[in-house]
Structure 1
C-alpha cells in the first residue's frame, strides 16, 4: 500500500504576494531600505524581493500600476506534478483556470491562476522557482541565511490575510479546507450564531496560518486585509515601531500580542500602495495530526489582543478595519517605470 498511495495534490506553504503600487520607489524604500529585504531582480516597473532567510527567488513582487490592487496571492505546491493535478481538479470542478507561463514572474516556473470560490481573490499555484545566491557583498556567513540581516530584519513572508463578504465567508473558508487541504487551526464565531465564521486561521504546516480569511466589514468580496512578514523576536517588534514612527509610517494597530496564535504583531501601511502590512513574531506551533481547531467567540477580548491596546474597530474612525481591493482573473496592466 505504501508503494501505491498518492495523497493527491497538496499545498506546501504560502509562497508570495504581488502588490500593485502607484509609487514603486516609495514601496521599494519601505520594503528594501526599512525592512531590509533583498531585491533579487527588477524589470521595467516590477521589483522582486525576499527576506534574509528565504532561498526562493522572491516572496514579494512590487508592480508599478495606476490602481493599488493586490494582483496575486500565491502558494507553492508540494510536488512538481501538483500544478497540473490541481489544474485538472479545478477545471473538473468548473473553475476558470488560467495557465501562467514560466517567467511571467522572473525566477518562477509555470503556474495556474484562478479566483477563490466565494472570495473572488486571484490565487496562483506554482512549484518551480529559482534559488539564486545573493550578491557577494550581501551574503551571510550563516548558512541558513540567504543574505545578511539588514534594516528591521524581515526573515520571510509568514502569511496572507484576506476578507470576503459575510454571505460568502462560510463557502470560501470551506473551499480552502476541502479543495486546497488547508487545516483550520483556530476560528472565530458569533455567540448567537456558532455556524457563522467571522474569521478562520488555516495552514498546511506548523504555523497558525498560511492564510486567514474573515468577513469583510464593508460587505465586499475579494478584499485584502494584510500580508505578514516574520521577524525574529518580540524585541524586534518594539524596535521596529520606534523606528517606523520616527519616519512617519502609518501605524494601524499594535504593538501587541494576539491571543489567537499568541504571536506579537504590529500593523502598518506601505506608503507607496497604502496596503496594510504586518510585522509578526513568535506564535504557537501546531504539530498534532489530530488537532481540534480552537473556537473563539467574538466577544472574548483576549482573542485579538492578549496584551496591548485593543485595535480601534469603529468603522467610522478605524484604520485597522479598512480593507483594500484585489485584482480579477486577468493580471492588471502594469505601468512601465519612468525613463
Structure 2
C-alpha cells in the first residue's frame, strides 16, 4: 500500500456479507431456525441477521432475487476518516469507487464500494449501529453480550471469515488485497509453476479474515466459496452436525483442517445455495514478524483435511455462487 497519509487507512475486521436468494423462505428458515442467527430487522425486503455474539447491526443480510448471488462483502475501517482515505488510495490505483450514502444500507453510515480485479464486490464502512437488545426473551443477563447464547438452533457465537473463489489467477486478488487494503498472507499454496493458487489472509490476529482460491472449474472469476461463523469449541461443531441431521440438511464433515488447524462442518443454504462453514478452534497470530507458511499441492491431503471427512468431498463442497453482482443493483 503506497504511503500517501501520515497514517495509512486500515481495515479493522470483516463486517458482513449481503446475499441474494432465489428462495428467501428457505434461506430464512436455514439461517434463523437451523443456524440460529438473530434477526435485527427487516426493511424493504432485506432481512438483517447477526449471531448472538456479534455486536454490530448485522453480519449477514438476505433479500429475494431471481438468481442467487452475493451483493457485496463488507469490511469495517479502523477509523472514520479511513473510508474516504481508502477511496483516495483506490482511485489513485485506477480502481472505480462508488460512494454509498448513510442509510442506503440499514444501520450503516457512509461507505464506498468497488471491485477487485476478479470482479468481486467489496464495501468499506466505519459507522454501524449497535442496536440494544431490550426484549427479555432475547437479552442476555451478561452486560457484555447482546443476546442469550444457545437460544435456538446451532447458535454460533460470531461471524468469522469469507472464502472467495476465482477461475483466474489467485495472485491477482492476493496482490490487490495486500497492496491496496493491507491484508497479510498467513498461509498459502504454491503450485509447481510457482503460482500462488490459494492464500489465507487477515488484518486481525485470525489465521484468515478472507481466503482466496483459484480453480479453472469455477464458473467465473468472481465466486463465493463459503462464509463462516465461529463457535467456541469442537463440541459445538459436533452438536451442529446433530442439528443439521435432525433438520434434514446435508453436510460435509466433521473434520479438521491442516491449514488453519480448525474444526469444521460445511452445510449449504437450500435457498441461496451459499455454503456455510461452521468453524471452531484454529489459532491466533500475535507475532508481528509472522512468516507466511507455504504449502505445496502435494501436501493438500493434510492441508485441506488433517483428519475427518474430506473438506473437498461431495457436491456441497464444489458449489460456488456468483459474487459479482452489479454495484448499481447493490445501492438502489
So what's the TM-score if we normalise by structure 2?
A: 0.93
Distance 2:276 2:328 in 1: 22
Distance 1:27 1:212 in 2: 24
> In the alignment, what sits opposite 1:282?
281
The Cα shift of 1:135 comes to 3.5
User: Are the aligned partners of 2:275 and 2:316 in contact in 1 as well (CA < 8 Å)?
Assistant: no
Distance 1:312 1:304 in 2: 8
The partner residue of 1:330 within 314, 327, 330 is 327
Partner SS for 2:7: coil
Partner SS for 1:184: strand
The Cα shift of 1:31 comes to 1.2
Q: Deviations over 1:116-151 (max 9, x none)?
A: 12x210000000000011242211012232101122
The Cα shift of 1:24 comes to 1.6
Please tell me whether residue 180 in structure 1 is matched to residue 170 in structure 2: no
User: Are the aligned partners of 2:34 and 2:247 in contact in 1 as well (CA < 8 Å)?
Assistant: no
The Cα shift of 1:6 comes to 3.3
Distance 2:182 2:281 in 1: 24
Distance 1:131 1:287 in 2: 27
Distance 2:8 2:127 in 1: 18
Cα distance change of structure 1 residues 72 and 250 upon mapping to structure 2, 3 Å threshold: same
User: Are the aligned partners of 2:275 and 2:319 in contact in 1 as well (CA < 8 Å)?
Assistant: no
Q: Deviations over 1:45-79 (max 9, x none)?
A: 21001111111111101111111001111100100
The Cα shift of 1:321 comes to 2.1
Moved more, 298-307 or 73-82: 298-307
Partner SS for 1:332: helix
Cα distance change of structure 1 residues 183 and 291 upon mapping to structure 2, 3 Å threshold: same
The Cα shift of 1:334 comes to 10
The Cα shift of 1:242 comes to 1.4
> In the alignment, what sits opposite 2:159?
157
Distance 1:320 1:223 in 2: 13
The alignment of Structure 1 onto Structure 2 pairs a total of residues equal to 323
User: Are the aligned partners of 1:65 and 1:333 in contact in 2 as well (CA < 8 Å)?
Assistant: no
Partner SS for 1:41: strand
Q: Deviations over 1:82-117 (max 9, x none)?
A: 000001111111111111111111101111000012
Distance 1:282 1:290 in 2: 22
Partner SS for 2:178: helix
Quote the RMSD (CA, aligned, Å). Answer: 1.7
Q: Which runs of 4+ in 1 moved over 6 A?
A: none
The Cα shift of 1:208 comes to 0.7
Partner SS for 2:195: strand
Distance 1:33 1:91 in 2: 42
The Cα shift of 1:267 comes to 0.8
Distance 1:85 1:172 in 2: 21
Cα distance change of structure 1 residues 333 and 287 upon mapping to structure 2, 3 Å threshold: closer
User: Are the aligned partners of 1:201 and 1:213 in contact in 2 as well (CA < 8 Å)?
Assistant: yes
Distance 1:296 1:273 in 2: 32
The Cα shift of 1:312 comes to 4.4
Moved more, 321-330 or 143-152: 321-330
User: Are the aligned partners of 1:227 and 1:277 in contact in 2 as well (CA < 8 Å)?
Assistant: yes
Distance 1:250 1:332 in 2: 32
Distance 1:247 1:328 in 2: 31
Structure 2 unaligned residues grouped into runs of 5+ = none
The Cα shift of 1:331 comes to 4.3
Distance 1:328 1:214 in 2: 19
User: Are the aligned partners of 2:159 and 2:228 in contact in 1 as well (CA < 8 Å)?
Assistant: yes
The partner residue of 1:321 within 303, 314, 318 is 318
Cα distance change of structure 1 residues 86 and 333 upon mapping to structure 2, 3 Å threshold: closer
